[in-house]
Chains A and B, each alone.
Chain A
Amino acid sequence: MTSPASTDRVPPQLSAGPRPAPGPAADEGLARRLRALACTAPLHDLDARKANLAGEYSVYGMAEVALAAIDLVTLNMDFDTGADHEQIVARLVPRIAAQAPHRPAAEHERVARWVLENLINVGSADRGFRAVYGTFAPDGSYVRRDYDFKLIEEVPGPGGTVYLRTTDEAVNVLVGALDTDVTSAQIAAEVKLEVLINRGRLADAQLAAEQARYRTVQYSETLRRALDATRRNVRAVDWLNAVPDMITEALDHVAERYRHENAILTNIRKARDETEEPEHKRRAAELVDIVKDCIRRHTQLQSRLLEAGPLFRAEQDRQAFATPATTSGIDLYGHLVAPALPLPLEQAIRVTDAFFARGTGLRTPVSVRVADLVGILLTPPVEREHLGAEMPEPDLIATPDDSRFSEEQLAAATELLDLPADAPRRLSGLLAEARRTGDPDLAYLVALLAVHAASPPVGTAYRQGEEKLLFAVDDGTELDDPEFGGADLIVGTALLDAAGMAADRTEAA
């Protein structure tokens, strides 16, 4: 509809003469800050919009939850995949619950999901955010521009799963000023960490260690992207200099970091074991975990780097030593994809449309005869077999009932032993009563249950919240019975404080 905007076509350095307004160079810093500011907008927006949610959600600090979520996703990002959606929700819930402990757990989870979904911005097609800002073009005209960004993005994982990753924008929002040289920033952080530990300032040391881990994650992310690109297309990278240099550099980096972090680990372990104060001990233990995680990530990175070389050589063999083709066809990437991508949409679409029209093959059109149509329309729909094929009736063989006592006998014995709490009885009396029922086996069952009650499962009853428990005590009286020998036990029922026990349990948990 229009030709490309003149703002884009004229390079800034070529525009000469006095400018009526500050040009792009002067505006650049402002634009960068505007974009940085825009990245925080979704977080403020969460707090502004929580009032619109059905329910009283003003107690929750949504921006805090959002930052915690970005934090969690960043820390859980692995070399290959990202963070798991459910895991992030589960880890967010304790913080949300701490903000409003009296609210139901379901609401906490709902808040976690709401925040996470809003950070992904599930509602929009791009699943991202857009901010509009204005700059001055070289000719002095004022241009409004769209800035599109994401905070958390969803990436495909192995087996069709979806993982979360934080974008660079989000990491910048989270830690700030991370847009520096990764390597030097990491060295700085580690030197700082070592100094802090030597001086025994563990609280600061933990902060520095966490920052070092963010940088570690960011570093492996950068390398993962580079390796992915080279794995796909050998020609896409300078295999003579750039890639070997990059791999060597990265391996050196891993070796150095590994040495460094092991040294730190030894230091912190010493600090952890020697310190008297429990708070210091706890912090040092946390630090050990963080540094261990850093080392694990470096090891992972290293194994990737070692795989890269053989992969390159195999691809090189396949591609460089094949017999040269006689005809030179179209280079699809170099001739079509690469030149089309930088074009404005309205031009690029002509190229892709042309390719689509000739590149999709043919479809045989479906034609319907009226005679068939009648038949098709009148055919009753086929009943779909939701349940699948009928199961054959299983041929069951009855196993002989070899229990010593029947269910009825157990019920009778339980009834007999259902004693009031304030009236324990002698075993001899219970046996006599059992014999009066006329069932000779019942006495055996009663005796058995009474012996079991001599060592009642108090712990189990406590855990299950039972209200009473059968017990038996030997007071030294001998049992005078034709069939049984031993002590004439006193059998009784003890009442348990179920409510009190339940309260104890929750406190303990």
Chain B
Amino acid sequence: MSEPVEWSEAEPSAPSATTAVTPADAADAARLVAFGLQPKLAPARDQEYTELLRRYREDPAFARLADAVAAGLGLVVLEVSPRAGMAVTAAEDSVFAVRMGDYARRTAADSGDRFLHGLAHLAAAALAFPRPEDLADDSYIGRVTVNGVDAFVRQACRRLEERAAEQGENTDPATDAPGLEAAWRIWARRSATGATKDARRPAASTTGIVAKALAFLTDSGFLQRTGDDNGGTYRTTARYQLQVRDMAGSAALAELLELGVVPVTDGTASLLPAEDTDDLDLVADAGLPFHS
């Protein structure tokens, strides 16, 4: 299916290589990208995959060819290594990209729900890699649970609530402007779980939203389910670390900077939540209504 693409992409790279690219090389490069599109496939389990990965690392011409195939398909290569395999992810507007509307139907109509689903993914990553070192350390394996993510966000919300109360602020939103409600209140307000007829979590509850996020990430090959404790226990994979570190984290940070919010840390130690009052003080004029 991708034959025409790889040829058109492969040819410009051919002159730079010392040897001419054969159709067989292009087929191998495409095969490697195809392996990369199966995120749950472990490189060590497939001999052909391992062999192609070795070739990518040893043969620069082949590596360029594989990169070109991926780029032509609308994929970004994050890392090619024995541990992560051919870690590719969808570029923006790629056919492989996940859209929020497909992910959860209700999010199209309800911006509150849309926020909750997005925050569930962000919080899951934050709990999986609590310190900057954890995100930077390639050998680190994070662990998350459904109830843990929910409790973690609720704790952060409660701290904001307490701080607002200390400062004597009234955080109840104005009735006619729901978009101005502080984001943490949306999570705090939604119930954590609920009794249902078939003993499953209500999908609209926060644990239901987190469980959906973690199950989705498992399908993406980012998490591995290890047990049922605490609503579902998962551990992270190398791919998830790469994805969060190189793609998602920086994209969200760029968005935050664009909003005029500049989170500043000293860079070495992790940010203590006790200190983030200072950070929030820095952004007093940046449109943060609750920390003047």
Interface residues of A (CB under 8 A from B): 1-5, 7-12, 14, 24-25, 28, 31, 85, 120, 122, 125-128, 132-133, 135, 143-148, 150, 153-156, 160, 162, 225, 228-229, 232-233, 235-238, 319, 322, 324-365, 367
Q: Are A28 and B168 CB-contacts (below 8 A) given A228-B151, A325-B133?
A: yes
Residue B27, interface by CB 8 Å: no
Which among B132, B179, B183, B261 is the interface contact of A1 at CB below 8 angstroms?
B179
The residue of chain A having its C-beta at the shortest distance from the C-beta of B267 within the complex is: A328
Given the known interface contacts A331-B132, A353-B118, A356-B118, the answer about A342 and B182 at a Cβ–Cβ threshold of 8 Å is yes
Q: How many residues of B sit at the interface, in one of the four size bands?
A: 35 or more
Of B8-16, B47-55, B93-101, which binds chain A?
A: B93-101
Q: List 28 A-B contacts (CB under 8 A).
A: A11-B167, A12-B168, A127-B191, A132-B175, A145-B170, A146-B175, A155-B192, A156-B150, A156-B207, A160-B228, A235-B130, A235-B272, A329-B249, A333-B156, A336-B249, A337-B119, A339-B261, A339-B280, A342-B291, A344-B181, A345-B115, A349-B111, A352-B115, A352-B122, A352-B252, A353-B100, A356-B122, A362-B96
Question: Cα distance A150–B190 when bound, in Å?
Answer: 10
Interface string of B133-176 (1 = CB under 8 A from A): 10111000000000110111101111010000001111011111
Bound state CA distance, A333 and B126, in angstroms?
A: 5
Tell me the bound Cα distance from A232 to B156 in angstroms.
12
Return chain B residues, CB-CB under 8 Å to A337: 119, 122-123, 126, 153, 156
| Residue of A7, A145, A327, A330 contacting most chain B CB atoms (<10 Å) | A330
Task: With A232-B148, A338-B156 as known contacts, state yes or no: A359 contacts B39, CB within 8 Å.
Answer: no
CB distance from A196 to the nearest CB of B (A): 35
Residues of B with C-beta under 8 A to A122 = 194
Tell me how far the C-beta of B195 lies from the nearest C-beta in chain A, rounded to whole angstroms: 5
Contacting B132 at CB < 8 Å: which of A147, A330, A341? A330
**Contact (Cβ within 8 A) B290 A342:** yes
Q: Indicate if the CB atoms of B287 and A343 lie closer than 8 Å.
A: yes
Evaluate contact between B251 and A357: CB separation under 8 angstroms.
yes
What A residues does B199 contact at CB under 8 A? 160
Cα separation A335 to B252 with both chains bound (whole Å): 9
Chain B residues near A235 (CB, 8 Å)?
130-131, 270, 272-273
CA of A326 to CA of B132 in the docked complex: distance in angstroms? Answer: 11
Chain A residues near B256 (CB-CB < 8 A): 335-336, 339-340, 351
Contact check, A325 vs B263: say whether CB atoms are below 8 A apart: no
Contact of B122 among A126, A128, A340 (CB under 8 A): A340
User: Which residue in chain A gives the minimum CB-CB distance to B158?
Assistant: A225
| B21: interface (CB < 8 Å) | no
8 interchain residue pairs of minimum CB distance: A334-B271, A352-B118, A359-B248, A361-B220, A348-B183, A325-B133, A8-B289, A145-B172
- The A/B interface has a contact count, at CB < 8 Å, of 356
Query: Is A334 a contact of B263 with CB atoms below 8 Å?
Result: yes
User: Is B186 in the interface zone, CB < 8 Å from A?
Assistant: yes
Task: For A148, list chain B residues within 8 Å (CB).
Answer: 172, 185, 189
Contact present for B244 and A332 (CB under 8 Å) = yes
CB of A144 to closest CB in B, whole Å: 4
Q: Contact partner of A332 among B94, B135, B274, CB < 8 A? A: B135
Contact B220 A350, beta carbon cutoff 8 Å: no
**Which residues of B have CB within 8 Å of A326?**
136
> B179 — which chain A residues lie within 8 A by C-beta?
1-2, 344-346
Which chain A residues border B39 with CB–CB below 8 Å?
361-362
> Are B182 and A343 touching (Cβ within 8 A)?
yes
Let me know if B221 is at the binding interface, CB within 8 A.
yes
- Measured between beta carbons, the chain B residues less than 8 angstroms from A333 are 126, 130, 156, 270-271, 273
Contacts of B268 in A (CB 8 A): 324, 328
Contact B183 A319, beta carbon cutoff 8 Å: no
Q: How far is the CA of A344 from the CA of B180 in the complex (A)?
A: 5
Partner of B181, one of A9, A12, A334, A345: A345
Interface centre among B92, B155, B205, B255 (most CB of A within 10 A): B255
Q: Which of A1, A155, A354, A364 contacts B193 (CB 8 A)?
A: A155
Q: Which residues of B contact A135 (CB under 8 A)?
A: 170
A162 with B194: CB separation less than 8 A? yes
Contact assessment for A355 and B172 in the assembled complex, using a CB-CB cutoff below 8 Å: no
B126 to chain A: closest residue by CB: A332
With contact pairs A132-B175, A345-B115, A352-B121 given, residues A324 and B253 touching in the complex (Cβ less than 8 Å): no
Whose C-beta in chain B lies nearest to the C-beta of A85? B195
Q: Is the CB of B254 within 8 A of A354?
A: yes
B180 touches A8 (CB 8 A): yes
